[in-house]
Amino acid sequence: MILEEIKKELLSSIKERKEPNISVLRMVISAVFNKEMEKRLTLESNLSEEEIKEKIKLNDEEMEAIIFSEVKKRRDSISDFEKGGRLDLAEKEKAEIEVLMKYLPKELSEEEIREIVKEAVSKNTDIGSVMKEVVPKTKGKADGSLVAKIVKEELN
C-alpha cells in the first residue's frame, strides 16, 4: 500500500536528513490523516473501534487523489513563485513534486490525452459530454487544465 511506502521513505529520509523529502512526506501523511478523520465523521456511531479503523482506511485510489492534489498545489505555487521572481522557492517546489511523483501512476503524455479526447469528441459534440467521458479516464494521470485545453482545441 502507498501509505506504508511513504512512511518507510519518511523514516529513511529522516535518518539521511533529506530535508525536502521529510517535509513533503510529512505533509502527505497529514493530508491522509485529515481525510481519514473526515471519513470517520460520516460513519455510524454504533461501530466498534476496529470496524471504524477498517472503514476509514484509504485505498490506493484515494491515496493517489491526495498525492495528485499535493502535486497540483505545488505546480500552482511554482508559477506564482516564478512570477514573483522567487526561483529558489520554485526549485524547492519542483523537488517536492519529484518526491511525490514516485507514488503516482505514470502521467499521460499530451498525445495520449489527445487520443482519449478524439475518441470522446467522435461520440459527443458539446464540451460537457466530452469532459464527462474524458475526466474519469485521465483523473490522477493528467493535469485537468491540460485536458480542458485539449478538449477545447479538439472541439473547435
Rg of the Cα atoms in the chain? 19
pLDDT band at 48 (very low <50, low <70, confident <90, very high): confident
- For the chain, the 3-state helix, strand and coil shares in percent, each to the nearest 5, are 80, 0, 20
Q: Is the pLDDT of residue 113 over 80?
A: yes
| Contact call for residues 105 and 142 (beta carbons, < 8 A) | no
Residue 137 has a pLDDT of 85
Residue 2 has a pLDDT of 87
pLDDT band at 99 (very low <50, low <70, confident <90, very high): very high
What the chain holds in terms of domains, given with CATH numbers, is: 2-101 (1.10.1510.10), 110-155 (1.10.10)
Looking at every residue in the chain, the average pLDDT score rounds to 88
| Contact call for residues 43 and 55 (beta carbons, < 8 A) | yes
Name the percent of the chain lying above pLDDT 70.
100
Residue 1 has a pLDDT of 81
Name every residue whose Cβ is closer than 8 Å to that of residue 87 and which is 6 or more positions away in sequence.
81
**Residue 106 is placed in which grid cell?**
505514470
Q: Is the pLDDT of residue 14 over 90?
A: yes
Q: Is the pLDDT of residue 9 over 90?
A: yes
**Residue 24 is placed in which grid cell?**
513533503
Residue 105 has a pLDDT of 83
pLDDT digits (tens, 9 = 90+) for 118-146: 888 888 778 888 888 888 888 778 878 88
Residue 73 has a pLDDT of 92
* Through-space distance between the first and last CA atoms of the chain, rounded to whole angstroms: 42
pTM reported for the whole predicted model: 0.75
- Helix (H) / strand (E) element for 155: namely helix 144-155
Q: Is the pLDDT of residue 151 over 80?
A: yes
